Protein backbone atom coordinates (compact mmCIF):
# COMPACT_ATOMS: atom_id res chain seq x y z
CA UNK A 1 0.00 0.00 0.00
CA UNK A 2 2.73 2.43 0.90
CA UNK A 3 5.91 3.00 -1.01
CA UNK A 4 8.00 2.67 2.04
CA UNK A 5 7.93 2.32 5.71
CA UNK A 6 7.31 5.68 7.21
CA UNK A 7 8.62 6.42 10.61
CA UNK A 8 7.21 9.47 12.21
CA UNK A 9 9.39 10.38 15.08
CA UNK A 10 8.20 12.89 17.55
CA UNK A 11 10.56 13.91 20.24
CA UNK A 12 9.16 15.88 23.12
CA UNK A 13 10.09 16.44 26.70
CA UNK A 14 10.26 12.91 27.99
CA UNK A 15 8.04 11.74 25.21
CA UNK A 16 8.81 10.06 21.98
CA UNK A 17 6.22 8.57 19.77
CA UNK A 18 6.76 6.62 16.64
CA UNK A 19 4.27 5.38 14.17
CA UNK A 20 5.19 2.89 11.57
CA UNK A 21 2.90 2.10 8.72
CA UNK A 22 3.42 -0.58 6.18
CA UNK A 23 6.62 -2.47 5.65
CA UNK A 24 7.68 -6.03 6.13
CA UNK A 25 10.09 -7.73 8.42
CA UNK A 26 12.46 -10.44 7.48
CA UNK A 27 14.36 -12.42 10.01
CA UNK A 28 17.67 -11.77 8.32
CA UNK A 29 17.30 -8.05 8.47
CA UNK A 30 16.13 -7.99 12.05
CA UNK A 31 19.26 -9.79 13.11
CA UNK A 32 21.28 -6.90 11.76
CA UNK A 33 20.68 -5.11 14.97
CA UNK A 34 23.30 -7.09 16.75
CA UNK A 35 25.92 -6.50 14.09
CA UNK A 36 27.45 -3.15 14.72
CA UNK A 37 29.80 -1.28 12.43
CA UNK A 38 29.04 -3.26 9.33
CA UNK A 39 28.85 -0.71 6.52
CA UNK A 40 25.38 -0.09 5.21
CA UNK A 41 23.83 -2.64 7.50
CA UNK A 42 25.24 -1.11 10.62
CA UNK A 43 23.04 -0.61 13.60
CA UNK A 44 23.11 3.02 14.55
CA UNK A 45 22.86 4.58 17.96
CA UNK A 46 21.49 8.02 18.58
CA UNK A 47 21.24 10.17 21.60
CA UNK A 48 17.78 11.58 21.64
CA UNK A 49 17.57 14.84 23.42
CA UNK A 50 14.43 15.79 25.24
CA UNK A 51 14.05 18.70 22.88
CA UNK A 52 14.28 16.93 19.59
CA UNK A 53 11.91 17.90 16.85
CA UNK A 54 9.59 15.82 14.77
CA UNK A 55 11.28 14.10 11.92
CA UNK A 56 9.79 12.06 9.14
CA UNK A 57 11.95 9.24 7.93
CA UNK A 58 11.17 7.08 4.98
CA UNK A 59 12.48 3.59 5.11
CA UNK A 60 12.69 1.07 2.38
CA UNK A 61 9.72 -1.19 2.99
CA UNK A 62 11.58 -4.30 2.02
CA UNK A 63 14.01 -3.94 4.88
CA UNK A 64 12.93 -5.07 8.30
CA UNK A 65 13.36 -2.92 11.33
CA UNK A 66 13.99 -3.57 14.95
CA UNK A 67 14.21 -0.70 17.31
CA UNK A 68 15.46 -0.97 20.82
CA UNK A 69 15.42 1.69 23.48
CA UNK A 70 17.61 1.89 26.49
CA UNK A 71 15.92 3.43 29.53
CA UNK A 72 12.61 3.42 27.75
CA UNK A 73 9.27 1.75 27.81
CA UNK A 74 7.59 1.11 24.60
CA UNK A 75 4.49 -0.49 23.36
CA UNK A 76 3.54 -2.00 20.09
CA UNK A 77 0.22 -1.43 18.47
CA UNK A 78 -0.41 -4.02 15.86
CA UNK A 79 -3.26 -3.90 13.40
CA UNK A 80 -4.65 -1.05 15.42
CA UNK A 81 -5.10 -3.18 18.50
CA UNK A 82 -3.02 -2.50 21.48
CA UNK A 83 -0.48 -5.23 21.89
CA UNK A 84 2.08 -4.30 24.38
CA UNK A 85 5.65 -5.38 24.39
CA UNK A 86 8.17 -3.92 26.71
CA UNK A 87 11.75 -4.59 26.08
CA UNK A 88 14.56 -3.95 28.39
CA UNK A 89 17.07 -5.83 26.31
CA UNK A 90 17.96 -5.94 22.68
CA UNK A 91 16.82 -9.52 22.26
CA UNK A 92 13.22 -9.01 23.18
CA UNK A 93 12.80 -5.77 21.24
CA UNK A 94 9.74 -6.03 19.04
CA UNK A 95 10.03 -6.58 15.36
CA UNK A 96 7.97 -4.20 13.34
CA UNK A 97 5.60 -6.24 11.31
CA UNK A 98 3.17 -4.87 8.81
CA UNK A 99 1.11 -2.88 9.47
CA UNK A 100 2.19 -1.82 12.89
CA UNK A 101 2.38 1.26 14.97
CA UNK A 102 5.03 1.61 17.59
CA UNK A 103 4.61 4.01 20.40
CA UNK A 104 7.11 4.59 23.11
CA UNK A 105 7.83 7.14 25.72
CA UNK A 106 11.17 7.62 27.27
CA UNK A 107 11.21 7.63 31.02
CA UNK A 108 14.42 9.60 31.21
CA UNK A 109 15.40 12.73 29.40
CA UNK A 110 17.91 10.89 27.27
CA UNK A 111 17.33 7.64 25.49
CA UNK A 112 19.49 5.73 23.15
CA UNK A 113 17.75 4.34 20.12
CA UNK A 114 19.35 1.60 18.13
CA UNK A 115 17.95 0.54 14.86
CA UNK A 116 18.99 -1.65 12.04
CA UNK A 117 19.04 0.57 9.05
CA UNK A 118 20.16 0.27 5.49
CA UNK A 119 21.26 3.84 5.49
CA UNK A 120 22.49 5.73 8.48
CA UNK A 121 21.61 8.98 6.75
CA UNK A 122 17.96 8.10 6.95
CA UNK A 123 17.87 8.21 10.67
CA UNK A 124 20.42 10.86 11.43
CA UNK A 125 17.49 13.17 11.74
CA UNK A 126 16.55 11.58 15.03
CA UNK A 127 19.45 13.39 16.56
CA UNK A 128 18.52 16.31 18.70
CA UNK A 129 17.92 19.84 17.67
CA UNK A 130 18.12 22.09 20.61
CA UNK A 131 15.31 24.59 20.56
CA UNK A 132 17.07 26.76 23.09
CA UNK A 133 18.99 28.35 20.29
CA UNK A 134 15.87 30.11 19.06
CA UNK A 135 15.87 33.66 20.25
CA UNK A 136 13.53 36.54 19.63
CA UNK A 137 14.64 40.16 19.75
CA UNK A 138 11.55 41.65 21.37
CA UNK A 139 9.66 39.10 23.44
CA UNK A 140 5.90 39.25 23.09
CA UNK A 141 5.34 37.50 26.40
CA UNK A 142 7.10 37.52 29.77
CA UNK A 143 8.21 34.63 32.00
CA UNK A 144 5.48 35.48 34.50
CA UNK A 145 2.85 34.85 31.81
CA UNK A 146 4.42 31.50 30.94
CA UNK A 147 4.34 30.54 34.58
CA UNK A 148 0.68 31.51 34.85
CA UNK A 149 -0.26 29.27 31.92
CA UNK A 150 1.81 26.36 33.27
CA UNK A 151 0.00 26.60 36.58
CA UNK A 152 -3.44 26.59 35.00
CA UNK A 153 -4.09 30.33 35.22
CA UNK A 154 -5.14 32.92 32.68
CA UNK A 155 -2.44 35.20 31.28
CA UNK A 156 -3.88 38.64 30.51
CA UNK A 157 -1.78 41.18 28.60
CA UNK A 158 -3.53 44.53 28.14
CA UNK A 159 -2.47 46.75 25.21
CA UNK A 160 -0.72 43.84 23.57
CA UNK A 161 -1.86 44.44 20.01
CA UNK A 162 -0.50 47.59 18.30
CA UNK A 163 -3.26 50.12 17.71
CA UNK A 164 -2.87 50.19 13.91
CA UNK A 165 -3.61 46.44 13.84
CA UNK A 166 -6.57 46.84 16.17
CA UNK A 167 -8.17 49.25 13.78
CA UNK A 168 -7.34 47.48 10.52
CA UNK A 169 -8.38 44.08 11.88
CA UNK A 170 -11.62 45.44 13.24
CA UNK A 171 -12.41 47.02 9.87
CA UNK A 172 -11.40 43.78 8.18
CA UNK A 173 -13.76 41.76 10.42
CA UNK A 174 -16.60 44.18 9.73
CA UNK A 175 -16.01 43.98 5.98
CA UNK A 176 -15.94 40.19 6.08
CA UNK A 177 -19.08 40.09 8.20
CA UNK A 178 -20.97 42.37 5.87
CA UNK A 179 -20.00 40.26 2.87
CA UNK A 180 -21.31 37.12 4.55
CA UNK A 181 -18.08 35.35 5.44
CA UNK A 182 -19.06 34.60 9.03
CA UNK A 183 -21.01 31.53 10.07
CA UNK A 184 -22.79 30.60 13.26
CA UNK A 185 -20.73 28.09 15.20
CA UNK A 186 -23.48 25.79 16.22
CA UNK A 187 -21.70 25.74 19.53
CA UNK A 188 -25.01 25.69 21.16
CA UNK A 189 -26.12 22.23 20.14
CA UNK A 190 -29.02 21.40 17.89
CA UNK A 191 -31.33 20.72 20.78
CA UNK A 192 -30.92 24.28 21.92
CA UNK A 193 -31.36 25.57 18.39
CA UNK A 194 -34.62 23.74 17.96
CA UNK A 195 -35.78 25.47 21.10
CA UNK A 196 -35.70 28.87 19.55
CA UNK A 197 -32.04 29.67 20.11
CA UNK A 198 -31.58 31.97 17.13
CA UNK A 199 -28.46 32.33 15.01
CA UNK A 200 -28.02 35.84 16.29
CA UNK A 201 -27.69 34.54 19.82
CA UNK A 202 -24.83 32.28 18.79
CA UNK A 203 -21.20 33.12 18.26
CA UNK A 204 -20.46 33.71 14.56
CA UNK A 205 -17.05 32.90 13.20
CA UNK A 206 -14.80 33.62 10.25
CA UNK A 207 -12.44 30.66 10.14
CA UNK A 208 -9.47 29.53 8.13
CA UNK A 209 -10.39 27.26 5.32
CA UNK A 210 -13.64 26.12 3.88
CA UNK A 211 -12.95 22.54 4.79
CA UNK A 212 -10.19 22.27 2.22
CA UNK A 213 -6.86 20.70 2.88
CA UNK A 214 -3.26 21.11 1.81
CA UNK A 215 -2.48 24.00 -0.47
CA UNK A 216 -6.10 24.92 -0.89
CA UNK A 217 -6.51 25.36 2.82
CA UNK A 218 -3.34 27.38 3.23
CA UNK A 219 -4.64 30.04 0.84
CA UNK A 220 -8.22 30.09 2.04
CA UNK A 221 -9.96 31.60 5.03
CA UNK A 222 -7.58 33.72 7.06
CA UNK A 223 -5.01 33.61 4.24
CA UNK A 224 -7.42 34.25 1.38
CA UNK A 225 -5.92 37.26 -0.38
CA UNK A 226 -9.06 38.04 -2.34
CA UNK A 227 -11.21 39.02 0.64
CA UNK A 228 -10.88 41.77 3.24
CA UNK A 229 -7.50 43.14 4.28
CA UNK A 230 -4.94 40.39 3.75
CA UNK A 231 -2.08 42.73 4.75
CA UNK A 232 -3.52 43.13 8.21
CA UNK A 233 -4.29 39.42 8.59
CA UNK A 234 -0.80 38.38 7.52
CA UNK A 235 0.86 40.88 9.82
CA UNK A 236 -1.22 39.50 12.67
CA UNK A 237 -0.46 35.87 11.69
CA UNK A 238 3.28 36.63 11.77
CA UNK A 239 2.99 38.19 15.19
CA UNK A 240 1.11 35.11 16.40
CA UNK A 241 3.84 32.90 14.97
CA UNK A 242 6.43 34.66 17.07
CA UNK A 243 4.18 34.27 20.10
CA UNK A 244 3.80 30.57 19.31
CA UNK A 245 7.56 30.18 19.18
CA UNK A 246 7.98 31.87 22.55
CA UNK A 247 5.26 29.71 24.09
CA UNK A 248 6.80 26.55 22.68
CA UNK A 249 10.08 27.31 24.42
CA UNK A 250 8.64 28.70 27.61
CA UNK A 251 6.14 25.91 28.16
CA UNK A 252 8.50 23.16 26.98
CA UNK A 253 6.01 22.10 24.33
CA UNK A 254 8.40 21.52 21.43
CA UNK A 255 5.80 20.58 18.83
CA UNK A 256 3.94 23.86 19.26
CA UNK A 257 6.51 25.36 16.97
CA UNK A 258 8.61 23.35 14.59
CA UNK A 259 11.13 25.15 12.46
CA UNK A 260 11.06 22.69 9.65
CA UNK A 261 7.36 22.96 9.01
CA UNK A 262 6.53 24.21 5.60
CA UNK A 263 4.27 27.20 5.48
CA UNK A 264 1.34 25.07 4.44
CA UNK A 265 1.82 22.67 7.30
CA UNK A 266 2.29 25.50 9.79
CA UNK A 267 -0.95 27.14 8.74
CA UNK A 268 -2.85 23.96 9.32
CA UNK A 269 -1.46 23.69 12.82
CA UNK A 270 -2.76 27.03 13.91
CA UNK A 271 -6.44 27.89 13.85
CA UNK A 272 -6.99 31.64 13.46
CA UNK A 273 -10.50 33.04 13.45
CA UNK A 274 -12.45 36.23 13.94
CA UNK A 275 -15.57 35.96 15.99
CA UNK A 276 -18.58 38.09 16.29
CA UNK A 277 -21.27 38.37 18.97
CA UNK A 278 -24.42 40.32 18.24
CA UNK A 279 -26.16 41.96 21.20
CA UNK A 280 -27.80 39.12 23.14
CA UNK A 281 -25.27 36.50 22.04
CA UNK A 282 -23.43 34.36 24.58
CA UNK A 283 -21.48 31.14 24.75
CA UNK A 284 -21.95 28.39 27.33
CA UNK A 285 -19.28 27.00 29.54
CA UNK A 286 -16.89 24.66 27.75
CA UNK A 287 -13.34 23.43 27.28
CA UNK A 288 -11.43 23.85 24.05
CA UNK A 289 -9.78 20.44 24.00
CA UNK A 290 -10.36 16.99 25.47
CA UNK A 291 -8.44 13.80 25.99
CA UNK A 292 -8.40 11.77 22.76
CA UNK A 293 -9.93 8.77 24.49
CA UNK A 294 -12.95 10.88 25.47
CA UNK A 295 -13.62 11.96 21.91
CA UNK A 296 -14.89 8.63 20.62
CA UNK A 297 -13.62 6.67 17.65
CA UNK A 298 -12.13 9.69 15.91
CA UNK A 299 -10.16 10.83 18.92
CA UNK A 300 -6.90 9.16 17.99
CA UNK A 301 -7.00 9.96 14.30
CA UNK A 302 -6.09 13.63 14.40
CA UNK A 303 -2.42 14.53 13.93
CA UNK A 304 -2.58 17.58 16.18
CA UNK A 305 -4.57 18.88 19.10
CA UNK A 306 -5.31 22.27 20.61
CA UNK A 307 -2.63 23.22 23.09
CA UNK A 308 -2.84 26.92 23.93
CA UNK A 309 -5.95 29.05 23.46
CA UNK A 310 -5.50 32.73 22.59
CA UNK A 311 -7.95 35.62 22.35
CA UNK A 312 -7.29 39.14 21.13
CA UNK A 313 -10.04 41.73 21.51
CA UNK A 314 -10.86 44.45 19.03
CA UNK A 315 -13.56 46.53 20.80
CA UNK A 316 -12.58 50.12 21.57
CA UNK A 317 -13.42 51.37 25.07
CA UNK A 318 -15.58 48.41 26.04
CA UNK A 319 -17.52 48.97 29.26
CA UNK A 320 -18.41 46.45 31.91
CA UNK A 321 -22.12 47.19 31.49
CA UNK A 322 -21.96 46.10 27.85
CA UNK A 323 -21.58 42.51 29.09
CA UNK A 324 -19.71 40.00 26.93
CA UNK A 325 -16.97 39.32 29.48
CA UNK A 326 -14.86 36.23 29.04
CA UNK A 327 -15.54 34.29 32.23
CA UNK A 328 -12.83 31.82 33.21
CA UNK A 329 -12.78 29.22 35.97
CA UNK A 330 -9.13 28.76 36.91
CA UNK A 331 -7.95 27.24 40.14
CA UNK A 332 -7.51 29.68 42.98
CA UNK A 333 -4.02 31.05 43.70
CA UNK A 334 -4.09 29.02 46.92
CA UNK A 335 -4.80 25.81 44.99
CA UNK A 336 -2.01 26.59 42.56
CA UNK A 337 0.39 27.19 45.42
CA UNK A 338 -0.42 23.95 47.24
CA UNK A 339 1.84 21.88 45.11
CA UNK A 340 4.17 24.52 43.82
CA UNK A 341 5.09 23.87 40.23
CA UNK A 342 4.91 20.10 40.53
CA UNK A 343 3.17 19.39 37.29
CA UNK A 344 2.32 21.61 34.39
CA UNK A 345 -1.39 21.50 33.69
CA UNK A 346 -2.88 20.12 30.49
CA UNK A 347 -0.56 17.31 29.53
CA UNK A 348 2.20 15.17 30.95
CA UNK A 349 4.33 12.95 28.78
CA UNK A 350 1.70 13.30 26.06
CA UNK A 351 -1.14 12.18 28.34
CA UNK A 352 -3.87 14.78 28.65
CA UNK A 353 -5.30 15.95 31.91
CA UNK A 354 -8.83 14.88 32.87
CA UNK A 355 -9.19 16.22 36.41
CA UNK A 356 -7.74 17.35 39.72
CA UNK A 357 -7.15 15.80 43.12
CA UNK A 358 -6.37 17.23 46.55
CA UNK A 359 -8.71 20.17 46.32
CA UNK A 360 -7.50 21.20 42.90
CA UNK A 361 -3.83 21.09 43.82
CA UNK A 362 -2.73 18.28 41.55
CA UNK A 363 -3.61 17.60 37.93
CA UNK A 364 -4.74 14.06 37.11
CA UNK A 365 -3.68 12.63 33.76
CA UNK A 366 -5.11 9.72 31.79
CA UNK A 367 -2.60 7.29 30.33
CA UNK A 368 -4.13 5.09 27.65
CA UNK A 369 -0.95 3.24 26.80
CA UNK A 370 -0.43 1.10 29.85
CA UNK A 371 1.38 -2.22 29.55
CA UNK A 372 -2.00 -3.86 30.22
CA UNK A 373 -3.40 -2.33 27.04
CA UNK A 374 -5.88 -0.45 29.18
CA UNK A 375 -5.88 2.96 30.84
CA UNK A 376 -4.90 4.38 34.21
CA UNK A 377 -5.23 7.69 36.01
CA UNK A 378 -2.20 9.18 37.70
CA UNK A 379 -0.71 12.28 39.27
CA UNK A 380 2.90 13.38 39.56
CA UNK A 381 4.51 13.41 42.97
CA UNK A 382 7.81 14.98 43.85
CA UNK A 383 10.49 12.59 44.98
CA UNK A 384 13.46 13.92 46.85
CA UNK A 385 17.02 12.95 46.10
CA UNK A 386 18.13 9.66 47.56
CA UNK A 387 21.34 7.82 47.11
CA UNK A 388 21.74 6.93 43.50
CA UNK A 389 18.59 8.78 42.57
CA UNK A 390 18.12 12.35 41.50
CA UNK A 391 15.19 14.31 42.77
CA UNK A 392 12.36 14.67 40.35
CA UNK A 393 8.82 13.53 39.75
CA UNK A 394 7.26 10.15 39.80
CA UNK A 395 3.88 8.90 38.69
CA UNK A 396 1.47 7.85 41.37
CA UNK A 397 -1.26 5.66 39.94
CA UNK A 398 -4.63 6.72 41.28
CA UNK A 399 -6.86 4.11 39.69
CA UNK A 400 -7.66 0.86 41.53
CA UNK A 401 -6.70 -1.18 38.48
CA UNK A 402 -6.26 -0.54 34.79
CA UNK A 403 -9.58 0.02 33.03
CA UNK A 404 -11.17 0.58 29.65
CA UNK A 405 -12.47 4.11 29.27
CA UNK A 406 -16.23 3.92 28.67
CA UNK A 407 -17.15 4.79 25.12
CA UNK A 408 -20.35 6.63 25.92
CA UNK A 409 -20.62 10.19 27.18
CA UNK A 410 -20.91 11.35 29.85
CA UNK A 411 -17.76 9.60 31.03
CA UNK A 412 -17.14 9.52 34.76
CA UNK A 413 -13.71 8.66 36.04
CA UNK A 414 -14.37 8.74 39.78
CA UNK A 415 -15.54 5.08 39.99
CA UNK A 416 -12.13 3.93 38.76
CA UNK A 417 -10.20 5.77 41.47
CA UNK A 418 -8.78 4.48 44.71
CA UNK A 419 -11.31 5.13 47.50
CA UNK A 420 -8.89 7.44 49.33
CA UNK A 421 -8.61 9.84 46.40
CA UNK A 422 -12.12 9.48 44.99
CA UNK A 423 -13.59 12.15 47.26
CA UNK A 424 -10.98 14.74 46.39
CA UNK A 425 -11.27 14.16 42.64
CA UNK A 426 -12.90 16.72 40.38
CA UNK A 427 -13.28 15.95 36.73
CA UNK A 428 -12.72 18.81 34.26
CA UNK A 429 -15.27 17.71 31.70
CA UNK A 430 -18.63 16.64 33.07
CA UNK A 431 -22.13 17.10 31.74
CA UNK A 432 -22.59 19.96 34.20
CA UNK A 433 -19.26 21.72 33.69
CA UNK A 434 -18.92 21.10 29.97
CA UNK A 435 -22.46 20.38 28.75
CA UNK A 436 -21.77 20.92 25.08
CA UNK A 437 -19.17 18.17 25.01
CA UNK A 438 -20.07 15.76 27.75
CA UNK A 439 -23.79 15.94 27.14
CA UNK A 440 -23.61 15.80 23.39
CA UNK A 441 -24.38 12.15 22.97
CA UNK A 442 -26.56 11.67 25.99
CA UNK A 443 -30.07 10.43 25.41
CA UNK A 444 -31.73 13.43 27.02
CA UNK A 445 -30.84 16.50 24.99
CA UNK A 446 -30.04 19.64 26.89
CA UNK A 447 -32.51 22.43 26.93
CA UNK A 448 -31.40 26.03 27.08
CA UNK A 449 -33.19 26.37 30.41
CA UNK A 450 -31.10 23.66 31.98
CA UNK A 451 -27.83 25.38 31.09
CA UNK A 452 -26.39 27.87 33.51
CA UNK A 453 -24.82 30.44 31.21
CA UNK A 454 -23.17 32.43 34.00
CA UNK A 455 -22.03 29.83 36.54
CA UNK A 456 -21.85 32.61 39.11
CA UNK A 457 -21.71 30.26 42.06
CA UNK A 458 -18.27 28.85 41.25
CA UNK A 459 -15.60 29.50 43.83
CA UNK A 460 -13.03 31.05 41.51
CA UNK A 461 -14.25 33.30 38.74
CA UNK A 462 -12.09 35.49 36.58
CA UNK A 463 -13.89 37.90 34.27
CA UNK A 464 -11.94 39.55 31.46
CA UNK A 465 -13.35 42.58 29.69
CA UNK A 466 -13.02 42.28 25.91
CA UNK A 467 -11.14 45.57 25.58
CA UNK A 468 -9.32 46.38 22.35
CA UNK A 469 -5.71 45.19 22.29
CA UNK A 470 -5.91 42.76 25.22
CA UNK A 471 -4.36 39.32 24.68
CA UNK A 472 -5.59 36.38 26.78
CA UNK A 473 -3.80 33.02 26.88
CA UNK A 474 -4.54 29.76 28.66
CA UNK A 475 -4.07 26.01 28.43
CA UNK A 476 -6.72 24.56 26.10
CA UNK A 477 -7.28 21.32 28.04
CA UNK A 478 -7.66 22.40 31.63
CA UNK A 479 -9.43 25.75 31.72
CA UNK A 480 -13.25 25.94 31.54
CA UNK A 481 -14.61 29.25 30.28
CA UNK A 482 -17.68 30.92 28.82
CA UNK A 483 -18.71 34.22 27.27
CA UNK A 484 -21.36 36.17 29.13
CA UNK A 485 -24.27 37.64 27.25
CA UNK A 486 -23.59 40.83 25.35
CA UNK A 487 -25.96 43.27 26.99
CA UNK A 488 -24.90 46.47 25.19
CA UNK A 489 -26.01 47.69 21.80
CA UNK A 490 -22.93 47.00 19.75
CA UNK A 491 -21.22 43.85 18.53
CA UNK A 492 -18.37 42.21 20.38
CA UNK A 493 -15.53 41.49 17.93
CA UNK A 494 -12.44 39.42 18.60
CA UNK A 495 -9.75 37.33 16.99
CA UNK A 496 -9.55 33.90 18.61
CA UNK A 497 -7.45 30.88 17.95
CA UNK A 498 -5.66 27.77 19.04
CA UNK A 499 -2.02 26.84 18.73
CA UNK A 500 -1.75 23.12 18.09
CA UNK A 501 0.81 20.61 19.19
CA UNK A 502 1.27 17.09 17.92
CA UNK A 503 -1.09 14.43 19.16
CA UNK A 504 0.51 11.83 21.37
CA UNK A 505 -0.18 9.18 18.82
CA UNK A 506 -1.96 9.05 15.50
CA UNK A 507 -3.92 6.06 14.39
CA UNK A 508 -3.46 5.87 10.64
CA UNK A 509 -6.04 3.89 8.74
Ligand X SMILES: *[C@@H]1O[C@H](CO)[C@@H](O)[C@H](O)[C@H]1NC(C)=O
Which chain residues interact with ligand X by CB under 6 A?
60, 62-63, 118, 164-165, 168, 171, 196, 198, 210, 216, 219-220, 224, 226-227, 229, 231-232, 235
CA dihedral for 477, 83, 106, 241, sign (positive or negative)? negative
How many CA atoms lie less than 13 Å away from 115 in the CB half-sphere?
Answer: 24
* Nearer CB in complex with ligand X: 86/219: 219
* Nearer CB in complex with ligand X: 227/397: 227
* Nearer CB in complex with ligand X: 206/369: 206
* Nearer CB in complex with ligand X: 22/406: 22
* Nearer CB in complex with ligand X: 210/340: 210
Least spacing, CB of residue 169 vs ligand X, in Å: 8
* Nearer CB in complex with ligand X: 405/468: 468
The answer to whether 302 touches 281, Cβ cutoff 8 Å, is: no
The answer to whether 318 touches 467, Cβ cutoff 8 Å, is: yes
Q: Which spans in 330-434 are helix H?
A: 333-338, 419-422
**CB 262: neighbour CB atoms within 10 A?**
9
* Nearer CB in complex with ligand X: 79/213: 213
Q: Which spans in 411-481 are helix H?
A: 419-422, 435-438
Close Cβ partners of 285 (under 8 Å, ≥ 6 residues apart): 329, 433, 434, 435, 452, 453, 455, 480, 481, 482
CA dihedral for 106, 110, 115, 120, sign (positive or negative)? positive
Least spacing, CB of residue 476 vs ligand X, in Å: 26
* Nearer CB in complex with ligand X: 164/382: 164
Least spacing, CB of residue 163 vs ligand X, in Å: 10
Cα dihedral angle (419, 422, 424, 429), rounded to 10 degrees?
A: 170
**Long-range own/partner contacts, residues 244-247 (CB < 8 A, 24 or more apart):** 244/270, 244/308, 244/499, 245/134, 245/136, 246/136, 246/139, 246/140, 246/141, 247/141, 247/146, 247/149, 247/308, 247/473, 247/499
* Nearer CB in complex with ligand X: 24/73: 24
Least spacing, CB of residue 509 vs ligand X, in Å: 24
Measure the CA–CA gap between 113 and 220, rounded to whole angstroms.
41
The answer to whether 114 touches 43, Cβ cutoff 8 Å, is: yes
Least spacing, CB of residue 281 vs ligand X, in Å: 12
Least spacing, CB of residue 3 vs ligand X, in Å: 7
Least spacing, CB of residue 59 vs ligand X, in Å: 9
CA dihedral for 224, 225, 227, 230, sign (positive or negative)? positive
* Nearer CB in complex with ligand X: 124/163: 163
Whole-angstrom CA distances from 496 to 144, 177, 265, 284, 285 are 22, 15, 20, 16, 16
Q: Tell me, what DSSP letter sits at residue 398?
A: -
* Nearer CB in complex with ligand X: 60/78: 60
Helix, strand or coil for residue 108?
A: coil
Least spacing, CB of residue 221 vs ligand X, in Å: 7
* Nearer CB in complex with ligand X: 88/198: 198
Least spacing, CB of residue 61 vs ligand X, in Å: 7
Measure the CA–CA gap between 213 and 247, rounded to whole angstroms.
26
Least spacing, CB of residue 199 vs ligand X, in Å: 11
Q: CA gyration radius for the chain?
A: 24
Element (H, E) at 172: helix 163-178
Whole-angstrom CA distances from 96 to 64, 102, 105 are 7, 8, 17
Least spacing, CB of residue 118 vs ligand X, in Å: 6
* Nearer CB in complex with ligand X: 60/128: 60
CA dihedral for 456, 461, 466, 472, sign (positive or negative)? negative
Measure the CA–CA gap between 430 and 2, rounded to whole angstroms.
41
Least spacing, CB of residue 252 vs ligand X, in Å: 33
Least spacing, CB of residue 23 vs ligand X, in Å: 11
Residue nearest to ligand X (CB): 220
Amino acid sequence: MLMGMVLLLVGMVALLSVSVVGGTTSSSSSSRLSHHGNGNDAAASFLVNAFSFTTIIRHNASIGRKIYFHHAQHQLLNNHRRIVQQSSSRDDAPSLSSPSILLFSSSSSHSVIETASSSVDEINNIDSHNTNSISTPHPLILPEHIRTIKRGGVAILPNWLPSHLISSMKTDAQTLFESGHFQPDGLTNTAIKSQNFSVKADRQTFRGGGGGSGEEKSSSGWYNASIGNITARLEFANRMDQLRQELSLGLDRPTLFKEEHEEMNTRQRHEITYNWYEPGAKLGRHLDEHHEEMKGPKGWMLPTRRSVTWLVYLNDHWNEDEGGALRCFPRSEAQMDLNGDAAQVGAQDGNLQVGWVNGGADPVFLDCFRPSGMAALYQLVRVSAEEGKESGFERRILSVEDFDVPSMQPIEFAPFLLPEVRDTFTQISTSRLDPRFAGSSSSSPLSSDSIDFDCSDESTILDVLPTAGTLVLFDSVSLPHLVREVTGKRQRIAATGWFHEDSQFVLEI
